[in-house]
Amino acid sequence: MEPKPIHRLADEVVNRVAAGEVIHRPASALKEILENSLDAGATSIVVTVKDGGNKLLQVTDNGCGIREADLPILCERHTTSKLSKFEDLSAMSTFGFRGEALASISFVANLTVTTMTRGATHALKASYCDGALDGGGARPCAGNPGTTITVENLFYNVPTRCKALKSPGEEFAKVLDVVQRYAASRTDVAFTCRKHGEARPSLHCAVTPHRIDRMRAMYGSQVARTLTPMTLSNSAKADAPGDDDGAAEFTVDALVSTAGYHSRRTTFILLINHRLVECAPLRRACEAVYSAILPKAEKPFAYLSLELPPHTLDVNVHPTKREVAFLRQDEVVERVQRALERRLVEANGSRTFAVGAVAGTEVDEAFGEDGGSRRSARQSLLPGASRPGATRGRVERDDDDDGDDDDGTAGDGSVAPLASGRNKRSRPLTAREKAGGEHRMVRTDASLAAGSLDQFFHANANANAERARLDEARREARARRYAARGCAGVDDEEAELRGYDVGDGGDGGAGSPETSPELPDGETTELTSVRELWSEIAANAHVALQRVLRGLTLVGCADERRGLWLLQHGTKLFMVRVNRLARDLFYQRVVARFGRHPCRALAEPAPVAALVRMALDDEEVPEGAEKEKAEEAKEKIANAAAALVAEKAEMLREYFGVDVDRRARALVGLPVLCEGHEPNLARLPEFCLSLAHEVNWEEEKPCFDTCARSIASFYSGHDDEEEEEENVVPP
């Protein structure tokens, strides 16, 4: 074959190819922009996203801004304010240094920058295309100190990339994940992330000195409660004095999940010298520790911040700076792994086994049990149960060394300890361990604590004893549980799905079999999101309350108008807001029987548009000219709602037993949640309206959750607005 002539690629081609390396999707563009904001010293960052970032990604910060003189070259490749000499690379304190991010974005999207430096009289707005400032130059405009970067129509000129983008919902999830990771690491900066046009942000967290508070703000108190701090400081000197090479020098500051954390996906947030990076060996090592103690399907959460001497770290190994290389990686990994193992044994060992997610002081007192927790619950069922907390036996707190959890929420009894069917350690042996692990036992200097053999033996003996006790307790509890249920062989995961107690019941029999919720009956679902919803229900279950509900005697109606009923259990009398109880019951039913709902046909089809119209007609409209406009708007809303419900017909039918005739855009059947019960059809209009307006149709789990809630309020006749702040204390 004839050789083809070699020619120089046009700059534009080179740049677009290079841009492809840095910017893969909205989330990777966001990563670069966020890092620039942090480099600029911002203390507040607001992210706005439209269509998962495919259409619009906007980041506003209150950082130092960009000088007017720099705007013409801002988006050229290799222009930066952060690096001057190659040597600087060895001690970079900023995220950026390559001067490639903004350039790359400008080659694959429409980029606009609005910026104002402190003390300037006005802001400047500049648009960029292919690395160059638009002909008109920067224009003055109103603004606040800081910078807003607006990225529109990502990959408008790279069709293959554009096609490879996932649905807006999936891209948004990735964007949110990036924001969460930076927010987890930078608690000194406030973060907000919002979908364009939505008033409520998807994430908002204020500046806080405590990382645990940040985690709570982002992931909820349920997750925060299960996180425990871990610190490790390995100094080169103490480890091997006299050894020229010394040992790896590093510190670790971490928050890691204990056994009460429930998730089907690993969350591993790793920072090395404050950079968010990935390190597959370290991640695997941590996962191995967890896989030895968690049930199969449970995955951990770990936030790990590793600090190494800057000269042992190379940050320039990848254009996205996603990976870093560091010296003595094996050793660091192994030590972190061991520290994690120790921490988990300690954390779980210091808890007393007790289960029962929610209970309240008043309820607990009513049950004659030890209340005292200040935690609030998602599902409070009894009128007196305004502040559910934990029903528990004796519970010791974690030995939190940073005191982050001082709100009394940590270490409570809701944590199911190491409920695992797999007690064997299954993590792969490290090379050194395979070789016998003797290296750990070489006495280097008997006068130093770190070199002392005795120290080492003690620590290990304790850990082993701890582990053995855990195993024993687990075995016993499981045996008790299965014996009582007569269901030997049900594994933990299945047990959990069925609502049985997976945490091992301990003192006082909290969480013992007879108190477990019976739902769901029959098979389980493959959908992770539904399993998660069910786990959340199970985790929130109030054990003592379940006992009451099971053994109750109905006394009668106390106040029909307010739906208050009296129940008796033992010697106690309870006043219950029955709609609310029903709502939670129906919600649990919808989730429990997900995808298996029997459906009963309506006597005649109910057109959705007309129903929504009826719901809207209940709202007041202004008189006069405005009225016409309002009527028009109602008509539009009703039609759009009908179209949306029709579009979701298949899912509504299959998952929820809500039968919609797609063509006629009419409801034709409803699920049977409880044999013998029928919902009040007068509430159909509100139900249709809520299907269209309250269900989050974009993301799987929120969609199932909100849909189940919609159905539950319809069936129970319970509106949240009805909820007055009134506490009826049981007599």
Structure tokens at 154: 């990502």
- Residue whose CB is less far from ligand ADP, 101 or 271: 101
Q: Which residues of 267-282 are buried (b: 16+ CB within 10 A; e: fewer)?
A: bbbbbbbebbbebeeb
Phi, psi for 607 (deg, rounded to 5): -65, 130
Say which entry of Mg ion, ligand ADP, none residue 64 contacts (CB below 5 to 8 A, set by partner kind). ligand ADP
The reply to whether 533 sits near Mg ion by the rule CB under 5 A is no
DSSP string of 258-287, one letter each residue: -TT---SS-EEEEEETTEE-B-HHHHHHHH
Q: Is the peptide bond before 622 cis (omega within 30 degrees of 0)?
A: no
- Taking the complex as a whole, the smallest distance from the CB of residue 62 to Mg ion amounts, in Å, to 17
Q: Report whether 576 contacts 718 (CB < 8 A).
A: no
- Taking the complex as a whole, the smallest distance from the CB of residue 80 to Mg ion amounts, in Å, to 7
- Residue whose CB is less far from Mg ion, 112 or 430: 112
- Taking the complex as a whole, the smallest distance from the CB of residue 26 to Mg ion amounts, in Å, to 16
- Taking the complex as a whole, the smallest distance from the CB of residue 637 to Mg ion amounts, in Å, to 44
User: Of the ranges 98-106, 391-399, 474-482, 490-498, which one interacts with Mg ion (CB under 5 A)?
Assistant: 98-106
Distance CA 117, CA 336 (A): 43
Which position has the token pair 């992210």?
A: 47
Say which entry of ligand ADP, Mg ion, none residue 179 contacts (CB below 5 to 8 A, set by partner kind). none
- Taking the complex as a whole, the smallest distance from the CB of residue 579 to Mg ion amounts, in Å, to 54
In the region spanning residues 642 to 681, those forming contacts with Mg ion, defined by CB under 5 A, are: none
- Residue whose CB is less far from ligand ADP, 68 or 494: 68
The reply to whether 96 sits near Mg ion by the rule CB under 5 A is yes
- Taking the complex as a whole, the smallest distance from the CB of residue 122 to ligand ADP amounts, in Å, to 17
- Taking the complex as a whole, the smallest distance from the CB of residue 123 to Mg ion amounts, in Å, to 20
- Taking the complex as a whole, the smallest distance from the CB of residue 131 to ligand ADP amounts, in Å, to 10
Nearest to 714, CA basis, from 607, 621, 615, 636:
615
The reply to whether 101 sits near Mg ion by the rule CB under 5 A is yes
DSSP-derived 3-state class of residue 624:
coil
- Taking the complex as a whole, the smallest distance from the CB of residue 74 to ligand ADP amounts, in Å, to 5
Say which entry of ligand ADP, Mg ion, none residue 15 contacts (CB below 5 to 8 A, set by partner kind). none
Say how many C-beta atoms besides its own lie within 10 A of residue 528's C-beta: 14
Say which entry of ligand ADP, Mg ion, none residue 711 contacts (CB below 5 to 8 A, set by partner kind). none
Say how many C-beta atoms besides its own lie within 10 A of residue 19's C-beta: 25
- Residue whose CB is less far from ligand ADP, 57 or 502: 57
User: Of the ranges 91-99, 179-187, 227-235, 336-344, which one interacts with Mg ion (CB under 5 A)?
Assistant: 91-99
Distance CA 652, CA 646 (A): 9
- Taking the complex as a whole, the smallest distance from the CB of residue 274 to Mg ion amounts, in Å, to 15
- Residue whose CB is less far from ligand ADP, 62 or 337: 62
The reply to whether 147 sits near Mg ion by the rule CB under 5 A is no
The reply to whether 63 sits near Mg ion by the rule CB under 5 A is no
How far from 430 is each of 130, 281, 283, 427, CA to CA, in Å? 49, 11, 14, 9
* Count of residues touching Mg ion (by CB under 5 A): 3
User: Of the ranges 28-36, 266-274, 511-519, 551-559, which one interacts with Mg ion (CB under 5 A)?
Assistant: 28-36
- Residue whose CB is less far from ligand ADP, 49 or 637: 49
Based on its alpha-carbon atoms, the radius of gyration of the chain, rounded to whole angstroms, reads 30
Type of residue at 335: R
- Residue whose CB is less far from ligand ADP, 95 or 534: 95
Say which entry of ligand ADP, Mg ion, none residue 411 contacts (CB below 5 to 8 A, set by partner kind). none
Q: Which residue is nearest to ligand ADP (CB)?
A: 96
Distance CA 302, CA 596 (A): 36
User: Of the ranges 89-97, 166-174, 267-275, 396-404, which one interacts with Mg ion (CB under 5 A)?
Assistant: 89-97
Q: Which residues fall within 8 angstroms of residue 529, CB to CB, at 6 or more apart?
A: 700, 701, 704
- Taking the complex as a whole, the smallest distance from the CB of residue 314 to ligand ADP amounts, in Å, to 16
Which position has the token pair 């008997």?
A: 446
- Residue whose CB is less far from ligand ADP, 63 or 517: 63
The reply to whether 36 sits near Mg ion by the rule CB under 5 A is yes
Say how many C-beta atoms besides its own lie within 10 A of residue 262's C-beta: 24
- What percent of the residues of the chain are helix, what percent strand, and what percent coil, each to the nearest 5? 40, 15, 40
User: Of the ranges 35-43, 274-282, 351-359, 368-376, which one interacts with Mg ion (CB under 5 A)?
Assistant: 35-43
Q: Report whether 547 contacts 508 (CB < 8 A).
A: no
Distance CA 553, CA 515 (A): 17
Q: Report whether 431 contacts 242 (CB < 8 A).
A: no
- Taking the complex as a whole, the smallest distance from the CB of residue 30 to Mg ion amounts, in Å, to 12
**Chain residues that interact with ligand ADP, rule: CB under 6 A:** 32, 36-37, 40, 61, 63-66, 74, 80-82, 96-103, 147
Give the distance from CA 112 to its chain's centroid: 31
DSSP string of 313-335, one letter each residue: EE--SSTT--B-EETTHHHHHHH
Distance CA 334, CA 437 (A): 12
- Taking the complex as a whole, the smallest distance from the CB of residue 317 to Mg ion amounts, in Å, to 17
- Taking the complex as a whole, the smallest distance from the CB of residue 69 to ligand ADP amounts, in Å, to 12
Distance CA 247, CA 240 (A): 6
User: Of the ranges 100-108, 210-218, 614-622, 702-710, which one interacts with Mg ion (CB under 5 A)?
Assistant: 100-108
- Taking the complex as a whole, the smallest distance from the CB of residue 64 to ligand ADP amounts, in Å, to 6
- Residue whose CB is less far from Mg ion, 36 or 588: 36
Q: Which residues fall within 8 angstroms of residue 693, CB to CB, at 6 or more apart?
A: 641
Distance CA 116, CA 107 (A): 24
Distance CA 276, CA 280 (A): 13
- Residue whose CB is less far from ligand ADP, 277 or 502: 277
Burial of 359 (0-12, 13-18, 19+ CB in 10 A): buried
Say which entry of ligand ADP, Mg ion, none residue 178 contacts (CB below 5 to 8 A, set by partner kind). none
Say which entry of ligand ADP, Mg ion, none residue 419 contacts (CB below 5 to 8 A, set by partner kind). none
Structure tokens at 493: 């995961």
Say which entry of Mg ion, ligand ADP, none residue 249 contacts (CB below 5 to 8 A, set by partner kind). none
DSSP state of 664: T
- One-letter-per-residue 3-state SS of 146-168: EEEEEEECCCCCCHHHHHHCCCH
- Taking the complex as a whole, the smallest distance from the CB of residue 73 to Mg ion amounts, in Å, to 14
- Residue whose CB is less far from ligand ADP, 100 or 659: 100
- Residue whose CB is less far from Mg ion, 36 or 579: 36
DSSP-derived 3-state class of residue 558:
strand
H or E element at residue 36: helix 26-39
The reply to whether 373 sits near Mg ion by the rule CB under 5 A is no
- Residue whose CB is less far from ligand ADP, 44 or 80: 80
- Residue whose CB is less far from Mg ion, 101 or 215: 101
- Residue whose CB is less far from Mg ion, 71 or 101: 101
Say how many C-beta atoms besides its own lie within 10 A of residue 588's C-beta: 23
Q: Which residue is nearest to Mg ion (CB)?
A: 96
Which position has the token pair 């029997």?
A: 598
Task: Work out the angle between the directed axes of helices 625-647 and 608-617 (0-180°, nearest 10).
Answer: 140
Phi, psi for 150 (deg, rounded to 5): -115, 120
Say which entry of ligand ADP, Mg ion, none residue 52 contacts (CB below 5 to 8 A, set by partner kind). none
- Taking the complex as a whole, the smallest distance from the CB of residue 189 to ligand ADP amounts, in Å, to 13
Count of alpha carbons within 13 angstroms of residue 603, beta-carbon side: 2
- Residue whose CB is less far from ligand ADP, 40 or 269: 40
- Residue whose CB is less far from Mg ion, 100 or 398: 100
Say which entry of ligand ADP, Mg ion, none residue 37 contacts (CB below 5 to 8 A, set by partner kind). ligand ADP
Residues near Mg ion, by CB under 5 A: 36, 96, 101
